[in-house]
């Protein structure tokens, strides 16, 4: 049992460390539209549905990490945004994907300021979206009749030579493209020598975990991404734009932090070992000695007497009297002193000022004899309250055999210790 008590804290600490390491090692990401982000802005729900449909989803950290051997027929590629692509690297990426024989490139955008058209080398303009519901209103396998979106982020407009090879779905209104315009929340560009089939969708927010179940969002996403056996889900990185990306957490921390962390870890370990050695078996100790209440009362009285603290002793006597009188008069123990004074005066018929002097404010006590008289008067007051209503006359308190209570004549000074009569 002793060994169990000794090693149980260390075992619990080890278990906590293992659990924390397991949680930290589990892939998690707070990046928008990340397939391993379970938050509202992530796309873990879409990722899991694609996998359940038999699509081999591979997560690629950046376009610069694309392996040409993995890009070919039977493969689609998803680019959640183009923030780290440049006007030079974007068209080159499309040309490389076309040479590799990629089935389809799907590019999402949710911000018209990203200028997805110039970045990809396409004649494509972007403008702000709307929350107005729209329907497919196009002839393309990706969008079926009856498909409906609750809104879109970016309105895409195809111009120039690309207009003839483009299909625009989910326009702002029915028949919007009847006159030859190519505008919509989703644009499909046919494959050319310098690009694969490219789908640009200004509905990035509709594929997040928070909105994937709305309207036809899930159906449209599955058709766009599930047409091939393999899907490369690219998460753009700063390195795609030639920026130096942090390889690990230590790369973004101050250089002098390493020494500080090492010193703090050593201090924590030393403290744990130091305190751990102090832990031992529980020691049984005898209970404190029993001291009678009268002994403690007399001892406290002697201390007051030695300190000549008559005011403190008087307050102790008055507090005890108030605490005992309140329940007798139907008041709570913590009743206000003025309320208690009125109740006692009404019960005894004494003047309220005199009762207040006895229970609340004794005034200046010049000597021990004054304190003794106060104690006797308080005791007599308690006795009168305790007596039946018919017996509350001027009879002296039985606690004083000489018959001199608070109303009695002046008596000779007594040498009895003042607090020895304290209840």
The pLDDT of residue 390 is 54
The pLDDT of residue 329 is 87
**Mean pLDDT of the 337-341 span:** 88
Count of Cβ atoms closer than 10 Å to residue 192 Cβ: 15
Whole-Å CA distances, 150 to 53, 123, 185, 212: 25, 27, 11, 11
**Residue predicted with more confidence, 4 or 70:** 70
Quick one: tokens of 419?
């607090």
The pLDDT of residue 177 is 79
**Mean pLDDT of the 322-334 span:** 88
**Residue predicted with more confidence, 395 or 376:** 376
The pLDDT of residue 1 is 53
- pLDDT exceeds cutoff 70 at 339: yes
The pLDDT of residue 295 is 86
pLDDT in tens, 23-42: 544 445 578 889 999 999 99
**Residue predicted with more confidence, 16 or 142:** 142
The pLDDT of residue 225 is 94
CB 85 within 8 A of CB 122: no
pLDDT in tens, 269-283: 888 877 766 666 677
Least confident of 60-64, 124-128, 390-394: 390-394
**Residue predicted with more confidence, 418 or 199:** 199
Q: Give CA torsion, residues 164, 170, 172, 173, to 10 deg.
A: 100
The pLDDT of residue 270 is 85
Give percent of the chain above pLDDT 70.
81
Phi-psi sector, 188: left (phi>0), alpha (psi -120 to 50), beta: beta
**Residue predicted with more confidence, 126 or 254:** 126
Between CA 171 and CA 369 the distance in angstroms is 104
pLDDT in tens, 390-407: 555 544 444 433 333 333
Sorting pLDDT into bands at 50, 70 and 90, what band is 44? very high
**Cβ-count burial of 218 within 10 angstroms (0-12 exposed, 13-18 middle, 19+ buried)?**
middle
**Residue predicted with more confidence, 235 or 251:** 235
CB 152 within 8 A of CB 134: yes
pLDDT in tens, 175-191: 787 777 889 999 999 99
Between CA 247 and CA 87 the distance in angstroms is 26
Least confident of 12-16, 131-135, 246-250: 246-250
pLDDT in tens, 281-292: 677 777 777 778
Looking at every residue in the chain, the average pLDDT score rounds to: 80
The pLDDT of residue 303 is 85
pLDDT in tens, 258-272: 777 888 888 888 888
pLDDT in tens, 144-158: 888 998 878 899 999
pLDDT in tens, 381-393: 889 888 865 555 5
Between CA 43 and CA 354 the distance in angstroms is 82
The pLDDT of residue 170 is 92
Q: Within its chain, how far is the Cα of 118 from the centroid?
A: 43
- pLDDT exceeds cutoff 90 at 45: yes
Sorting pLDDT into bands at 50, 70 and 90, what band is 307? confident
Count of Cβ atoms closer than 10 Å to residue 100 Cβ: 18
Cβ within 8 Å of residue 259, ≥6 positions away:
none
């Amino acid at each position: 049992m002793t060994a169990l008590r000794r090693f149980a804290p260390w075992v619990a600490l080890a278990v906590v460390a293992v659990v924390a390491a397991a949680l930290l090692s589990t892939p998690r990401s707070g990046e928008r539209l990340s397939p391993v982000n379970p938050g509202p802005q992530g796309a873990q729900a879409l990722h899991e549905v694609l996998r359940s449909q038999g699509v081999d989803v591979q997560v690629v950290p950046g376009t610069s990490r694309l392996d040409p051997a993995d890009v070919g027929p039977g493969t689609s590629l998803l680019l959640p945004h183009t923030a780290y692509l440049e006007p030079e690297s974007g068209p080159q990426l499309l040309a490389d994907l076309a040479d590799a024989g990629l089935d389809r490139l799907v590019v999402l955008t949710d911000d018209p300021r990203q200028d997805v058209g110039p970045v990809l080398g396409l004649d494509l303009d972007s403008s702000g979206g709307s929350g107005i519901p729209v329907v497919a209103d196009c002839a393309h396998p990706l969008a079926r009749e009856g498909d409906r979106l609750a809104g879109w982020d970016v309105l895409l407009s195809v111009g120039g030579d690309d207009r003839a090879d483009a299909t625009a779905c989910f326009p702002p209104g029915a028949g919007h493209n009847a006159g030859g315009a190519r505008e919509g929340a989703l644009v499909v560009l046919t494959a050319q020598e310098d690009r694969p089939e490219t789908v640009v969708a200004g509905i990035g927010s509709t594929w997040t975990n928070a909105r994937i179940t709305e309207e036809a969002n899930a159906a449209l996403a599955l058709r766009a991404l599930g047409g091939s056996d393999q899907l490369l889900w690219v998460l753009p990185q700063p390195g795609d734009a030639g920026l130096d990306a942090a390889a690990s957490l230590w790369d973004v921390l101050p250089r002098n932090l390493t020494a500080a962390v090492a010193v703090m870890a050593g201090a924590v370990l030393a403290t744990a070992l130091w305190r751990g050695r102090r832990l031992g078996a529980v020691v049984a100790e005898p209970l404190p000695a029993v001291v009678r209440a009268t002994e403690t009362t007399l001892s406290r009285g002697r201390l007051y007497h030695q300190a000549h603290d008559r005011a403190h002793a008087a307050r102790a006597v008055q507090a005890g009297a108030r605490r005992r009188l309140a329940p007798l008069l139907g008041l709570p123990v913590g009743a206000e002193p003025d309320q208690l004074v009125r109740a006692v005066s009404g019960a005894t018929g004494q003047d309220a000022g005199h009762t207040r002097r006895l229970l609340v404010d004794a005034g200046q006590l010049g000597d021990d004899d004054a304190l003794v008289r106060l104690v006797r008067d308080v005791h007599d007051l308690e006795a009168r309250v305790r007596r039946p209503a018919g017996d509350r006359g001027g009879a002296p308190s039985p606690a004083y055999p000489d018959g001199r209570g608070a109303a009695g004549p002046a008596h000779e000074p007594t040498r009895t210790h003042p607090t020895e009569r304290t209840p």
